[in-house]
A and B are shown apart, each in its own frame.
Chain A
Amino acid sequence: MCMGIALPLYDLPVTLHAVPEVVSRIHRRGEFDEVQFHWWNVPTSLPVRWFGRVQLLRWGSKDRRARLPRGGWIDEASLEAGQLAGAAPEEVIIPAVLGHDKGMWFVITTGIRGVVVGDAGGPVVYMLTRPATNYYRNMTEQSRTMPVLVNQVI
């Protein structure tokens, strides 16, 4: 299960650079500052390319009482089968250059596919997942699912 992502700070719009949610997640790796978004972060959020710009949205739901599915991931096949149909899900791209799964940072070419659904508290993004390939399972010590990547197979 992909529990986090990272992208270079320069990939985020300048308007977000001073947002506390971003500032507190800046890490230096190599020659560039990157921003990391993890499932365990509070508040839990992800950058999403939505309505033509990158913005931060709430990532999934940790609230047992919420109407939305619990967790931050939706299986691609379940979505196609109609899960969330009533919530009018909208497909989006989560921009990322790195994914994090079981302590392993792996390279992402373009981003991860996700869906945004509306909620009383505002829009919420879920990461789309599918059964892990053999390669991904080996790489991540047997993760069962992997993120649905844009034009990329691991």
Chain B
Amino acid sequence: MGRSQSLVGFGDADAFYASAEAVRRPWLMGMPVGVLGNQGACVIARNYRMKKFGIKVGQPVWEAKVLCPEGVYLKRDFRWYEALSRKMLAEVREHVSPRVEYFSIDEFFWEGIPLPKLSFLETARAVRDHIQRVVGVPMTVAYARTRTLAKLFADTAKPFGAVAVETVDHETELLGKLPVTEIAGIASRRAARLAPYGIKSCLDLRNAEGRLVKTLLTATGHDLWLELNGTPANPIRTNRTPHKNIARGGSLAGRVNDPLSLYGWMVRNVERLIEELHYHEVRTPTLTVYVNYFEAPSAGGVVHLDVPTDRFTVILDAAKIGLKRAWRRGKPATHMHLIASDLRRQASWPQSLFDPPDERSDVLARVKRDINDELGRFKLRSGATLYANDFYKDPANEHDVCDIRGKFCF
């Protein structure tokens, strides 16, 4: 294969949360830094210096501090990480390619054309250096024929790497060294399905029969196979595809036994869910309340509504029914999710006798939204959330990673 005119570019910020903290606190440079998750109990990100001590993502902090007593720990701040993430996105869009996909908070794909008078490798270095200089975050940049290849090769060049893989020979050399589990979407279970066929490395998967791969890994796996062979199966998506479902929820900041506290959390999640429904201008006809329990099986309650809605009172009533179905008396709950599914856009909002105009509710919702837009999120909220009031005292809880809009995944 000769030189490509257009490859896929991929940028992945190195140890992003920890690097983002060092941007506003330069004295953290060179220190082992760990960022703690929503409850302060687990390391959700660490820089390379801390990684050398054997600390893994998800490791409890009490284990981490034994492994790395000199380590420095911080509370996550998704508002700050979003600010830097959007700055990186804007820089790539303005200086590298107008066609950029906001894949996750720290990963971007773009249509890769070399910068004027530069090779792809020189372009990768230039992009990496530009982001470091302007945003302050170290990034690894890769160019390859497809998204899957670019992402894989970026991982081989981390941290602060720049790589351009333009020939099949170069691809073959690198893919032979990578276990198949390095591919996003192939974890141990899928790898176990491939192993009996002698497919252990990424190169083995590329060289396998396409039909076999489809049988073993379904159409999604077949797309990965195509991409490994240099055929783009997934285009660069410059706008997020419309949501089919929207979910809000997460940890309950501990074990919740008290039904009223659980109810307070549910109302909080209803308010967060409605924010998203309004933002995306969609309504839902189906609501699911899903609760995880400590040392007890999870449970869910599905509620079908007469008509798609985004009204607080209607969704709250449905959520109460869903929670009643999902509630296990006497079992401490640890997580809760509210899922609005089968979302309908404005054109398909049916008129129905069961959905008469409710001007009072609409005005109340608008006033609530306006006040919170003006004064800050959750400044005006349902009184029922007082049952979970401790959580609101901490402003860091106002903004979660799933509240960052426009990206495709976390």
Q: Which of A30, A31, A105, A153 contacts B73 (CB 8 A)?
A: A105
Binding-face segment, B24-32, B258-266, B324-332, B347-355: B24-32
The residues in B between 21 and 66 inclusive whose CB is less than 8 angstroms from any CB of A are: 21, 25, 27-31, 36, 39-41, 61-62, 65-66
For B66, B71, B75, which residue has the most chain A Cβ atoms within 10 angstroms?
B75
The residues in B between 68 and 115 inclusive whose CB is less than 8 angstroms from any CB of A are: 69-75
Interface membership of A135, Cβ < 8 A: yes
The residues in A between 1 and 48 inclusive whose CB is less than 8 angstroms from any CB of B are: 8, 29-32
Interface membership of B395, Cβ < 8 A: yes
Check A104 against B73 for contact (C-beta < 8 Å): yes
Q: Which of B36, B70, B396 contacts A105 (CB 8 A)?
A: B70
Given contacts A104-B73, A141-B62, A154-B75, contact A133 B394 (CB under 8 A): yes
Check B65 against A30 for contact (C-beta < 8 Å): no
- Quote the shortest CB–CB distance from A20 to chain B (angstroms): 24
Interface membership of B118, Cβ < 8 A: no
The residues in B between 206 and 252 inclusive whose CB is less than 8 angstroms from any CB of A are: none
**Which residue of chain B has the shortest Cβ distance to A135 in the bound complex?**
B40
Check B27 against A8 for contact (C-beta < 8 Å): yes
Interface membership of A103, Cβ < 8 A: yes
The residues in B between 381 and 410 inclusive whose CB is less than 8 angstroms from any CB of A are: 390, 393-396
The residues in A between 105 and 154 inclusive whose CB is less than 8 angstroms from any CB of B are: 105-107, 133-139, 141, 153-154
Interface membership of A92, Cβ < 8 A: no
Interface membership of B376, Cβ < 8 A: no
Given contacts A30-B31, A135-B39, A139-B40, contact A153 B394 (CB under 8 A): yes
| Interface size band for B | 20 to 34
- A-B pairs with lowest CB-CB distance, top 3: A30-B30, A30-B31, A135-B40
- List the A side residues contacting B66 at CB < 8 Å: 103
- List the B side residues contacting A133 at CB < 8 Å: 390, 393-394
The residues in B between 345 and 369 inclusive whose CB is less than 8 angstroms from any CB of A are: none
- Quote the shortest CB–CB distance from A152 to chain B (angstroms): 9
Tell me the bound Cα distance from A8 to B29 in angstroms: 12
- List the A side residues contacting B75 at CB < 8 Å: 106-107, 135, 139, 154
- B contacts with A: majority SS: mixed
- Quote the shortest CB–CB distance from B76 to chain A (angstroms): 10
Tell me the bound Cα distance from A106 to B73 in angstroms: 5
Q: 10 A-B residue contacts at CB 8 Å?
A: A30-B29, A97-B25, A104-B65, A107-B21, A133-B390, A133-B393, A134-B390, A138-B39, A139-B61, A154-B75
Check B41 against A31 for contact (C-beta < 8 Å): no
Tell me the bound Cα distance from A136 to B25 in angstroms: 21
Check A31 against B30 for contact (C-beta < 8 Å): yes
Check A153 against B393 for contact (C-beta < 8 Å): yes
Check A30 against B27 for contact (C-beta < 8 Å): yes
Chain A contacts to B: CB under 8 angstroms: 8, 29-32, 97-98, 103-107, 133-139, 141, 153-154
Interface membership of B253, Cβ < 8 A: yes
**Which residue of chain B has the shortest Cβ distance to A32 in the bound complex?**
B27
For B72, B393, B395, which residue has the most chain A Cβ atoms within 10 angstroms?
B72
- Quote the shortest CB–CB distance from A25 to chain B (angstroms): 15
For B62, B66, B71, which residue has the most chain A Cβ atoms within 10 angstroms?
B62
Check B29 against A31 for contact (C-beta < 8 Å): yes
**Which residue of chain A has the shortest Cβ distance to B75 in the bound complex?**
A154
Binary CB contact string for chain B from 133 to 167 against chain A (1 if under 8 A, 0 otherwise): 00000000000000000000000000000000000
Tell me the bound Cα distance from A136 to B29 in angstroms: 24
Tell me the bound Cα distance from A84 to B396 in angstroms: 33
- Quote the shortest CB–CB distance from A96 to chain B (angstroms): 12
Sample of 7 more A-B contacts, CB < 8 Å, known A137-B40, A153-B396: A8-B27, A29-B31, A103-B69, A104-B65, A107-B28, A139-B40, A139-B61
Check B40 against A138 for contact (C-beta < 8 Å): yes
Given contacts A30-B30, A138-B40, contact A107 B74 (CB under 8 A): yes
- List the B side residues contacting A107 at CB < 8 Å: 21, 25, 28, 72-75
Tell me the bound Cα distance from A106 to B39 in angstroms: 14
- List the B side residues contacting A98 at CB < 8 Å: 72
Tell me the bound Cα distance from A29 to B30 in angstroms: 8
- List the B side residues contacting A8 at CB < 8 Å: 27
- List the B side residues contacting A32 at CB < 8 Å: 27, 29-30
Check A136 against B40 for contact (C-beta < 8 Å): yes
- List the A side residues contacting B396 at CB < 8 Å: 153
Given contacts A8-B27, A139-B41, A154-B75, contact A103 B395 (CB under 8 A): no
- List the A side residues contacting B71 at CB < 8 Å: 105
- Quote the shortest CB–CB distance from B21 to chain A (angstroms): 8
**Which residue of chain B has the shortest Cβ distance to A34 in the bound complex?**
B27
**Which residue of chain B has the shortest Cβ distance to A133 in the bound complex?**
B394
- Quote the shortest CB–CB distance from A58 to chain B (angstroms): 27
Check B73 against A139 for contact (C-beta < 8 Å): yes
